[in-house]
Structure 1
Amino acid sequence: MEREEILKNALTGDINSFQTLFAEFQNQLKSYLYRLLTDRNDVDDLTHDTFIRAFDKISTFNQDSSLKTWVFKIATNLAYDHLRKLNRWPADAQDKGAYLAIGTEEIGQSFRIVHQASNAGAYEMKEHIDFCFTCISKTLPIENQVALILKDIYDFQIKEICLILEKTEGVVKHLLNYSRDTMTSIFDNRCALVNKNGVCDQCSQLNGIFNPKQDQQEQRMKLELVKESSKFNRAELFTLRTKLVKAIDPLHSSGADLQDIIMRCTRTAIGEVGDFFDSPQGNAD
């Protein structure tokens, strides 16, 4: 069946046809929502709610945009309703998470269990850079975070982001410039991989814990971001980060389970989660 016919059937209320079209971008949608929400359970809930809401309103889809853009708008609105109840993250959220893990033997043990027992418990520096990108993006206002992630990580066009956020092109460009400048400044002051004065070298620290036999400097130098850090300017280094982040699916990478439990520890440390051990990830043993 041709795609146009599947869309036509979906518009008349055929749920199987709609499911076929939704499945084309479902994994990317869930990845996007995870970067916004940082909680797998919330991602599953909002993906389900997005599907139901979109199918219920499919008759209002006037094809001014792609179906994918229209569905991402619905998902973004649902995510915004969820996130506006929460505080923006501090720039040192990862530090707070690290202190909590170091100071709580049970949490450290949970990390080790996931690393040893899970098929997605591997540790690689590039995945932690992706984790770091998500954490720093959450220091931004929600609209800025959405615009940045849609454009720089998922390659949405400016006009598509305008539709999703219901903003003019000028406003969206301003959101993007502010977001890039803000994140670049935070990375400048924090990332010890590209700035010897940076305060955070968590990538190497964790790699040393989970891969103790590896040569840390050798692993660092495998990263293009590190190799080119002395050659490129701030904007070019930010672009290198986005290139690396684009290549990683935070829900299906080789270290997705380990990064998720580290993410939960971070959320606990900043007070977004009441108790680390209330979740299946926290109870890894």
Structure 2
Amino acid sequence: MEREELLKGALAGDINAFQTLFAEFQSQLKSYLYRLLTDRNDVDDITHDTFIRAFSKISTFNQDAELKTWVFKIATNLAYDHLRKLKRWQADAQDRGADLAIGSEEVRRAFWIAHDTSPAGTYEMKEHIDFCFTCISKTLPIENQVALILKNIYDFQVKEICEILEKTEGVIKHLLNDARNIMTDIFEHRCALINQHGVCHQCSHINEIFNPKQDQQEELMKLELVKASKKYNREELFTLRTLLVKAIDPLHASGTDLHESIMNCVRTAIGEKKDFFERNRGNAG
């Protein structure tokens, strides 16, 4: 069935036609929501709620924007409602997560079980850089985070982000500029991969734990980000980082399950999650 016919059917209340159209960008939508929410269960819930709400309001879709943009707007509003109940993360969130892991044999054991038993439990440095990008983006105000991720990771145009956030072009450009500057500053002062004075050695440290025989320096030098850091241009390094992040689906990468455990540890350490084991108990025994 042609896309125009599917859209016509969806507008007429055909849920199967709408499901077909929704499926075209569902994977990207869930990836986007995970970067905002960092919790698979929340992603599933909000994706489901987005589908229900979008279909129930399909008669209000006036086709001035792409259906994908319209659906992402609904999803963003639902995610925003969820996130504004929570405190934004601080730049030391990952450090606090590391402290919790170091101090808890049970947490470390859960990491090892995910790494040893899950087909998505491997550790790759480039995926951990993506993980760090997600964590650090959560230190931004929500609107800055949304604008940055939509533009730099999912290639939405400024006019589409204007539609999603209901802001003017000038405001969106301001949000993007501030977001990039904040992220760049945090990376410059924390990331030991690009700054020898950085305080975050998490990528190398976790790689050493899970891949003790791997030559870390050799793996690091495979990354354009690290090669370029010798020239040291803040803007270029940020661009390289976003290119690396764009190439990774955080929900379907080779280390997805390991990183989910690490993310749960961070969320527990900062008080966003009450108990690390509330959803991991079955994997830890």
Q: Distance in 1 between matches of 2:53 and 2:22?
A: 12
Shift of 1:59: 0.3
Deviation at 1:12, TM superposition (A): 0.4
Partner Cα separation in structure 2 for residue 107 and residue 3 of structure 1: 48
Give the match for residue 130 of structure 1: 130
Q: Check 1:181–1:108 CA distance in 2 against 1; reply closer, same or farther (3 A cut).
A: same
TM-score, normalisation: structure 1: 0.99
Quick one: distance in 2 between partners of 1:252 and 1:80?
24
Unmatched runs of 5 consecutive residues or more in structure 2: none
The reply on whether 1:192 has 2:192 as its aligned counterpart is yes
1:281 Cα deviation from its structure 2 partner: 6.7
Identify which range, 224-233 or 58-67, moves more after superposition: 224-233
Aligned partners of 1:110 and 1:282 also within 8 Å: no
Distance apart, 1:280 and its partner CA: 3.2
Q: 1:281 to 1:177 in 2, by over 3 A?
A: farther
Report sequence identity in percent: 78
1:261/1:282 contact within 8 Å kept: no
2 CA distance for matches of 1:17 and 1:119?
A: 34
212-221 or 262-271: which moved more? 212-221
Change (3 A) 1:156 1:282: farther
CA displacement at 1:219 relative to structure 2? 1.2
Residues 150 and 156 in structure 1, CA contact (< 8 A), matched pair in contact too = yes
Tell me whether 220-229 or 19-28 shows the greater mean CA deviation.
220-229
- Give the Cα separation in 2 of the matches to 1:195 and 1:269: 26
Deviation at 1:214, TM superposition (A): 0.6
CA apart distance, 1:186: 0.3
Name the SS of the counterpart of 1:228 in structure 2. helix
Tell whether the 8 Å contact from 2:152 to 2:242 is kept in structure 1 after alignment: yes
Match of 1:16 in 2: 16
Q: Cα deviation per residue 1:219-273 (whole Å; 9 max; x = unaligned)?
A: 1111111011112410110000000000000000000000111000000000000
Query: What is the CA–CA distance in structure 2 between the aligned matches of 1:284 and 1:163, rounded to whole Å?
Result: 44
Question: Match of 2:269?
Answer: 269
Q: Please name the residue that 2:167 is paired with.
A: 167
Aligned structure 1 segments of 4 or more residues deviating by more than 2 angstroms: 280-285
2:141 matched residue in structure 1: 141
Which residue of structure 1 lines up, in the alignment, with residue 27 of structure 2?
27
State the 1:215 CA deviation: 1.0
Mapped pair 1:256 → 2:256: yes
- The AA in structure 1 aligned to 2:113 is I
1:266–1:198: structure 2 CA closer, same or farther, 3 Å change rule? same
Aligned residue type for 2:125? M
1:77-117 per-residue CA deviation (whole Å, 9 max, x = no partner) reads 00000000000000010000001001100000000000000
Residue of structure 1 equivalent to 2:98 = 98
Alignment of 1:205 with 2:202, yes or no, is: no
The letter for the 2-side match of 1:106 is E
Whether contact under 8 Å (1:276, 1:282) holds in the other structure is: no
Give, as a single letter, the amino acid of the residue that structure 2 aligns with 1:215: D
Give the match for residue 63 of structure 1: 63
1:180 corresponding residue in structure 2: 180
Q: Deviation per CA, 1:123-167, whole angstroms, max 9, x where unpaired? A: 000000000000000000000000000000000000000000000
What TM-score do the two structures reach when normalised by structure 2? 0.99
1:105-120 equivalent positions in 2, closer than 5 A: 105-120=105-120
Aligned length in residues: 285
Task: Give distance in 2, aligned partners of 1:143 and 1:127.
Answer: 25
Indicate if the aligned counterparts of 2:153 and 2:246 stay in contact, CA closer than 8 A.
Answer: yes
8 Å CA contact retained: 2:114, 2:283: no
Report the RMSD for the aligned CA atoms in angstroms.
Answer: 0.9
Aligned CA distance change for structure 1 residues 43 and 49 (closer, same or farther; 3 Å) = same
* CA contact 2:33–2:79 (8 Å) conserved in 1: yes
Residue 87 (structure 1) aligns with: 87
The residue number in structure 2 matching 1:72 is 72
**Aligned mates of 2:96, 2:70 — CA distance in 1:** 37
Given that 2:113 and 2:283 are in contact with CA atoms closer than 8 Å, whether structure 1 keeps it comes out as no
Aligned to 2:95, the other structure's residue is in SS state helix
Cα deviation for residue 282 of structure 1 reads 7.3
Counterpart amino acid of residue 221 in structure 1: M
Corresponding residue for 2:37? 37
